[in-house]
């Protein structure tokens, strides 16, 4: 038909294959060329017809047919599989950096679907799996994140040097270890971090990276209850960061705070005070005195002062509590921890009535936090234990017994009968039993507590020594036994 016409070639990103795969823009398709780009065409054909009949003068009947129509070929360009894997991966990474996790995951899954069809697998598959793991990690889908990181590591090892991990493998090992640590698999995380640490020790000029790995190793040891090893790792992290960054850098705050926490766990309170004071000075310099991080360190320092029986404990904890109330609200676990420590500080300065009131308020905060799903029964037990000791100091044995009994019930259920904290509460409950006139039962409880402390802490730990002393004192004070008057107490 001489009236037919053609339209310019066009392809838009809004057009798709029907399988969720977006079209390439025409200019992008031309840039990639026929080796890296494929084309499909959608055909639209429409026809219309008209029939007529007539009889010629000669008597011949004529049938006429008129047909008109249009043919539309619409191109759809898409990258070949390997190129598409790369394109989709970079697009997913861009979405991830913009915080668009759902779009990033969807695009990343497209890259992986195409890559799985290729043999050999493209090297970018490892990066795409790592990215998908990071997306799941940010969305708190820890099992999926771990699975992605593990598969990414397998693929990266295929393309890497068998003798030592590549930078790409190190990145995935660190991500995998972090996900494992968050999911409670501290032993597996420790293995990942140790591989990275060993690899970095063979390299030069890796001071900052090695410091970061020591910090992660410290976190893994801490989660496993290996506080001595954690202390060593955090100390190495601090030394390397000081070497690389100087003694006043912001990045020293985290290892200093963790060193303080581990020293507390090991009952090295003078060392803990030193670390917290250094961290506090840096926080005030870089973050300000009213920053929440500064307040947290101030509260931890106050808890150490409580153990050292120093008068600075109360003002430290009150200062921390003021900031936390403003920044966190009235039922946050961090605020409850500070209130707990403030109660102990008040008790250590002889303010028993104020301490009891503070600890009772702390229990209310813990329970409100639990109602919101952000509290722990272990914290309730710790506050009940402290409140029981305050009531002992106030010579209210009945209230003390009620607190210790409730704390013991929680700790036995959560930690087990032999755990040091359970044994410590049992020890205190036994002393209250003596005050209430049941020395026989008290001695049985003391012996049970001492067995648990010996098993877990050894014979030279202060808690074990105190339990043995109190048991011997109780034995010697019983009728028919030689010895002095009862002088028990912790």
Average pLDDT value over all residues in the chain: 86
CB 321 within 8 A of CB 343: no
CB atoms within 10 A of CB 190: 22
Residue 448 pLDDT: 85
At residue 437, the 3 state secondary structure works out as coil
**CB neighbourhood size of 262 (10 A):** 26
Q: Is 115 exposed, middle or buried (0-12, 13-18, 19+ CB in 10 A)?
A: buried
For CA atoms 475, 477, 482, 483, the dihedral sign is positive
pLDDT of 429-461, one tens digit each? Answer: 988 988 887 777 878 888 888 888 888 888 888
Burial class (CB within 10 angstroms; exposed 0-12, middle 13-18, buried 19+) of 458: exposed
Give the side-chain half-sphere CA count within 13 A for 327.
16
Please, which residues have CB within 8 angstroms of residue 300's CB and are 6 or more apart in sequence? 257, 260, 261, 264, 276
173/154 Cα distance (integer angstroms): 11
- Ordered DSSP codes for 381-426: HHHHHHHHHHHHHTT-HHHHHHHHHHHHHHHHHHH-TTSHHHHHHH
Per residue of the chain (490 residues), what is the pLDDT tens digit? Answer: 444 444 444 434 444 443 444 566 777 777 666 655 667 777 888 888 888 888 777 778 888 888 888 888 777 776 666 777 888 899 999 999 999 999 999 999 988 988 887 777 788 899 999 999 999 999 999 999 999 999 999 998 888 766 778 889 999 999 999 999 999 999 999 999 999 999 998 787 778 899 999 999 999 999 999 999 999 999 999 999 999 999 999 999 999 999 999 999 998 999 999 999 999 999 999 999 999 999 999 999 999 999 999 999 999 999 999 999 999 988 889 999 999 999 999 999 999 999 999 999 999 999 888 888 887 899 999 999 999 999 999 999 999 999 999 999 999 999 998 899 999 999 999 889 888 877 778 788 888 888 888 888 888 888 888 888 888 887 776 655 444 444 445 5
Tokens of 383: 């506050």
Run of H or E including 245? helix 227-245
* Alpha carbons 32 and 422: distance in angstroms, whole number: 69
Supply the pLDDT for residue 23: 67
Nearest to 471 by CA among 454, 452, 437, 448: 448
Q: What is the structure's pLDDT at 475?
A: 78
- For 257, what's the count of Cα atoms within 13 Å in the CB-facing half-sphere? 19
pLDDT score, position 452? 85
Report the pLDDT value the prediction gives residue 50, as an integer from 0 to 100. Answer: 82
Say how far apart CA 282 and CA 268 lie, in whole Å. 22
Q: Which residues pair with 16 in a beta bridge?
A: 22
Contacts of 114 (CB under 8 A, 6+ apart): 81, 84, 85, 88
pLDDT reported for residue 324: 94
Residue 57 is given by DSSP the state: T
pLDDT for the residue 13: 41
Name the pTM for this structure. Answer: 0.73
């Amino acid at each position: 038909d001489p009236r037919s016409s053609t339209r310019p070639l066009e392809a838009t990103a809004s057009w798709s294959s029907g399988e969720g795969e977006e079209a390439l823009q025409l200019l992008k398709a031309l840039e990639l060329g026929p080796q890296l780009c494929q084309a499909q065409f959608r055909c639209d054909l429409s026809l219309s017809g008209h029939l007529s009949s007539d009889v010629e003068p000669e008597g011949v009947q004529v049938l006429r047919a008129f047909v008109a129509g249009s043919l539309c070929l619409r191109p759809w360009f898409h990258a070949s599989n390997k190129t598409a894997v790369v394109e989709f991966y970079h697009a997913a990474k861009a979405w991830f950096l913009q915080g668009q996790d759902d779009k990033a995951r969807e695009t990343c899954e497209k890259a992986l679907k195409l890559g799985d069809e290729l043999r050999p697998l493209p090297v970018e598959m490892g990066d795409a799996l790592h990215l998908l793991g990071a997306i799941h990690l940010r969305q708190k889908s820890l099992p999926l994140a771990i699975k992605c990181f593990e598969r990414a590591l397998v693929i990266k090892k295929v393309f890497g040097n068998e003798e030592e991990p590549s930078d790409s493998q190190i990145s995935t090992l660190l991500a995998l270890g972090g996900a494992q640590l968050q999911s409670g698999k501290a032993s597996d995380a420790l293995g990942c971090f140790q591989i990275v640490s060993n690899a970095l020790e063979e390299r030069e000029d890796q001071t900052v990276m090695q410091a970061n790995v020591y910090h992660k190793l410290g976190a893994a040891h801490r989660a496993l209850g290996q506080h001595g090893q954690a202390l060593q790792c955090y100390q190495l992290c601090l030394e390397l960061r000081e070497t690389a960054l100087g003694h006043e850098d912001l990045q020293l705050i985290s290892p200093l705070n963790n060193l303080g926490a581990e020293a507390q766990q090991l009952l090295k309170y003078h060392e803990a005070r030193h670390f917290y004071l250094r961290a506090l000075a840096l926080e005030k310099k870089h973050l300000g005195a009213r920053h929440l991080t500064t307040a947290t360190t101030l509260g931890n320092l106050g808890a150490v002062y409580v153990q050292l029986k120093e008068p600075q404990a109360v003002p430290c904890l009150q200062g921390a509590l003021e900031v936390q109330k403003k920044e966190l609200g009235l039922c946050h676990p961090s605020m409850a921890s500070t209130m707990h420590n403030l109660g102990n500080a008040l008790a250590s300065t002889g303010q028993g009535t104020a301490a009891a009131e503070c600890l009772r308020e702390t229990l209310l905060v813990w329970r409100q936090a639990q109602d919101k799903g952000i509290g722990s029964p272990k914290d309730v037990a710790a506050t009940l234990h402290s409140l029981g000791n305050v009531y002992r100091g106030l010579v209210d044995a009945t209230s003390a017994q009620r607190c210790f009994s409730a704390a013991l019930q929680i700790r036995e259920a959560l930690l087990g009968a032999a755990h040091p904290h359970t044994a410590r509460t049992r020890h205190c409950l036994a002393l209250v039993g003596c005050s209430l006139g049941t020395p026989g039962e008290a001695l049985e409880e003391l012996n049970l507590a001492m067995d648990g402390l010996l098993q877990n802490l050894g014979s030279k730990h202060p808690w074990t020594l105190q339990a043995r002393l109190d048991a011997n004192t109780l034995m010697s004070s019983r009728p028919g036994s030689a010895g002095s008057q009862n002088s028990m107490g912790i």
